C-alpha cells in the first residue's frame, strides 16, 4: 500500500567483523586453556611436575609441529597464488585441490583440537582422574587417524586420497618418481623428529603406559634407549635414498647418484648418536662422538651445497657477488639483496643444527629440540619458495623451447610456399 512502511533488510555482517569476532573467540579460548592448564600443573608436586610435563609434551608436541607445517604450507600456496608460479601445474593437482584458505581451515581446526585435548589431559590428571586423562591422547590420535583414512566423501576426500597415494609411492618407489613424490619426501625428512615422537607416543598407547611413569625407564620397550628411535629417524632419508636410485635407473643421470650420496650421509649421524646407549662411556667419548661430529659436519655442508646449487639453481661460487644482476629465476618474492644473504645464512645455520635435533642422545633437552625442529620447519618453508619456482621455470623453459622448435623458421616457410614470385 502506498505510504506503508517497508521493513528494512538486515544485512549480513561484514567479513572484517566476522574475522574480528573469530579472533576474539580464539583469544578467549587460548586464555582459558592456559589458565586451566597452569592451575592443573600447579596442583602437582614439584617432583612429579617435570616428569609429567615431559610425558605430556611427548604426546602433543608432534601434533603442534604438524599444525605449524600446515599453516606454513598454506602461506606457501597463498604466495604462489599471488605470483606467476603455477603450482597447480607443477604438482599436477586436480581442479578440486585445496586452496590456501582450505589449508588454513584445516590448520585452524588442528590448532583448536590439540590444545583442548592437552588441557583436558592436564586437568583430569591433576584431579585424580588418571584413566580419563590417559584416554585423551588416545582419542585424539584415533580421531585424526580415522579422519585421514576415512573412505567417505567428507573432509576433502580427493585431497586425502592424493596425499595417501603419494605417501605410498614414497614408501614403495615402484613407479617413475614424479615431482610431488620427492618434494613431499623432502618435507618428510624435515619432520623425521616428528615421526620419531609419534612412534614413541603410539608405542606407549599400545603398551598402556599413558599417564604412568613407566616411560621414564630408559631400557623399557618405549624408553629413550629403544632401537626403534633411530630406525624411525632414518626412515624418511632411506625413502629419499631409494627414490634417487630409482631416478638414476630411469634417467641414467649421475646427479641422481650424488643426491643419493647426500641422503646416505645422514645414516652415520643417526646411528652413531644412538650408539651412546649401547657402548661404554669411554668408547663414546674417545671414538664414537668425534665420528658423530665429523659426520654431522659433512652432512650439513653437503646438504647446504645441494640446496643452493641444485634445488635452487643458485651457484654460490659465481653469483654471490652479483646480486645486483639476479638471474631470471628470482622473480617470485625477491628483488632485494638482503633476501639472498638471509636465505643463504639461515639455511647454513639451520642445516648445522640438524645434527642436534636428530641425535637420540640429546633428546632429554626436549624444549631445545622442539625449538630447533620448529626452526627446521621454517627453513623448509623458505626452501619451498625457491624449489617450486625453480621447477616452474624449468617447465616453462622446456615448453617454450618445444614451441620454438615446432614452429617453422622464416626460410622454411618461404621455401615451402608455392605462391611467391622471384
- For 225-261, write each residue's pLDDT tens digit: 788 888 999 999 999 999 999 999 999 999 999 999 9
pLDDT at 19: 78
By the 8 A CB rule, do 275 and 227 touch? no
pLDDT at 335: 53
pLDDT at 343: 82
pLDDT at 357: 65
pLDDT at 363: 62
pLDDT at 213: 64
pTM of the model: 0.85
- List, for residues 209-229, the tens digit of each pLDDT value: 887 765 556 667 777 778 888
pLDDT at 372: 87
CA distance 192 to 359: 11
pLDDT at 275: 86
By the 8 A CB rule, do 333 and 339 touch? yes
pLDDT at 216: 56
CA distance 121 to 130: 9
CA distance 394 to 377: 26
pLDDT at 274: 84
User: Which stretches of the chain drop beneath a pLDDT of 70?
Assistant: 1-12, 213-219, 314-337, 354-364, 401-422
Task: Count CA atoms within 13 Å of residue 408 on its CB side.
Answer: 8
CA distance 255 to 310: 9
Amino acid at each position: 500500500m502506498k505510504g506503508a512502511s517497508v521493513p528494512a533488510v538486515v544485512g549480513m555482517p561484514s567479513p572484517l567483523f566476522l574475522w574480528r569476532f573469530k579472533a576474539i573467540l580464539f583469544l578467549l579460548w587460548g586464555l582459558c586453556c592456559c589458565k586451566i592448564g597452569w592451575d592443573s600443573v600447579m596442583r602437582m608436586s614439584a617432583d612429579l611436575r617435570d616428569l609429567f610435563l615431559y610425558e605430556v609434551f611427548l604426546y602433543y608436541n608432534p601434533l603442534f609441529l604438524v599444525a605449524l607445517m600446515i599453516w606454513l604450507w598454506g602461506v606457501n600456496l597463498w604466495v604462489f597464488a599471488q605470483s606467476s608460479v603455477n603450482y597447480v601445474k607443477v604438482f599436477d593437482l586436480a581442479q578440486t585441490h585445496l586452496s590456501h584458505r582450505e589449508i588454513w581451515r584445516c590448520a585452524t581446526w588442528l590448532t583448536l583440537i590439540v590444545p583442548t585435548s592437552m588441557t583436558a589431559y592436564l586437568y583430569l590428571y591433576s584431579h585424580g582422574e588418571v584413566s580419563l586423562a590417559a584416554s585423551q591422547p588416545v582419542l585424539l590420535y584415533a580421531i585424526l587417524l580415522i579422519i585421514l583414512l576415512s573412505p567417505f566423501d567428507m573432509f576433502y576426500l580427493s585431497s586425502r586420497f592424493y596425499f595417501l597415494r603419494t605417501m605410498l609411492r614414497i614408501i614403495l618407489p615402484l613407479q617413475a618418481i614424479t615431482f610431488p613424490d620427492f618434494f613431499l619426501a623432502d618435507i618428510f625428512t624435515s619432520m623425521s623428529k616428528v615421526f620419531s615422537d609419534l612412534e614413541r607416543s603410539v608405542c606407549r598407547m599400545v603398551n598402556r603406559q599413558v599417564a604412568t611413569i613407566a616411560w621414564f625407564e630408559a631400557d623399557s620397550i618405549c624408553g629413550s634407549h629403544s632401537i626403534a628411535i633411530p630406525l624411525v629417524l632414518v626412515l624418511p632419508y632411506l625413502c629419499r635414498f631409494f627414490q634417487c636410485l630409482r631416478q638414476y635407473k630411469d634417467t641414467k643421470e649421475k646427479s641422481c647418484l650424488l643426491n643419493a650420496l647426500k641422503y646416505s650421509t645422514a645414516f652415520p649421524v643417526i646411528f652413531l648418536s644412538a650408539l651412546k646407549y649401547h657402548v661404554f662411556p669411554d668408547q663414546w667419548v674417545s671414538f664414537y662422538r668425534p665420528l658423530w661430529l665429523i659426520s654431522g659436519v659433512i652432512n650439513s655442508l653437503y646438504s647446504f651445497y645441494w640446496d643452493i646449487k641444485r634445488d635452487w639453481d643458485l651457484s654460490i661460487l659465481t653469483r654471490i657477488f652479483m646480486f645486483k644482476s639476479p638471474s631470471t629465476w628470482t622473480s617470485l618474492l625477491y628483488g632485494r639483496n638482503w633476501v639472498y644473504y638471509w636465505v643463504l645464512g639461515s639455511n647454513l645455520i639451520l642445516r648445522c643444527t640438524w645434527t642436534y635435533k636428530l641425535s637420540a642422545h640429546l633428546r632429554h633437552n626436549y624444549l631445545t629440540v622442539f625449538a630447533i625442529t620448529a626452526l627446521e620447519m621454517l627453513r623448509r618453508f623458505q626452501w619451498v619458495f625457491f624449489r617450486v619456482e625453480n621447477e616452474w621455470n624449468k617447465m616453462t623453459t622446456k615448453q617454450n623451447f618445444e614451441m620454438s622448435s615446432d614452429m617453422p623458421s622464416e626460410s622454411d616457410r618461404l621455401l615451402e610456399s608455392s605462391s611467391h614470385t622471384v
